[in-house]
Structure 1
C-alpha cells in the first residue's frame, strides 16, 4: 500500500463481491462486467484509490481500461464522511467485543 497526504492506493483482486477494503465490499454492475471480460485471462489486480478522510467512495483503475467510482451498500446510509481512522477504530472495537465473547 502506498500513501499520499490524502489518498491511499492499494492493489486488490476483483471477485464476485467486488473489491474489498478494510472489510467493506465495493461493487457495481460495471465492475462485474469488467471482471467477466478479463475472466479468460490471468486474473489481475486492480488499483484502488481511497480518500483517508472519507472512505464512502473508492476509485478502481483497470490496467488499460476504465476507472470506476464505486460506493458500498454497507455505507449508503452514512450522510457524513467516514475517515479511515474512524472506521479502523470501530472495526477494532467490534472485533474486540466478538473476541471477548468467544469461548476460550
Structure 2
C-alpha cells in the first residue's frame, strides 16, 4: 500500500498520525510545486532586495525570486503591495486574493 504522506517533513517530525495524513491529503490536492532554496534563488533574492531595499521584505523577495527562477505560471499572494512584482521581472500571472 502506497503511503505518500510519509515523504513529508512534518510527518517525519510528528509521526504517522491521522492528522498528518489529513494534512498531506489536503496539501497534495493543491496544484503547487515545492522547490528547494538554492544558490540561484538566493542570488536573485539578494538582487531583488538590493534593488528595492526596505520596500520588499526578505520572505517576499524569496517567494518572488523563486517564481522568477523557476518560471512560475502564477504567483498567488494576499499582499496588495506585490503588483510591483511584475516590474521586478516576474512574467507570470500575479493573483492577489
On whether the aligned pair clears a TM of 0.5, the verdict is no
Greater relative contact order (Cα < 8 A, sep 6+): 1
Larger radius of gyration: 2
Which structure features the higher share of strand residues? 1
Range class of TM-score, shorter chain: under 0.3
TM-score normalized with structure 2 length = 0.26
Which structure features the higher share of helix residues? 2
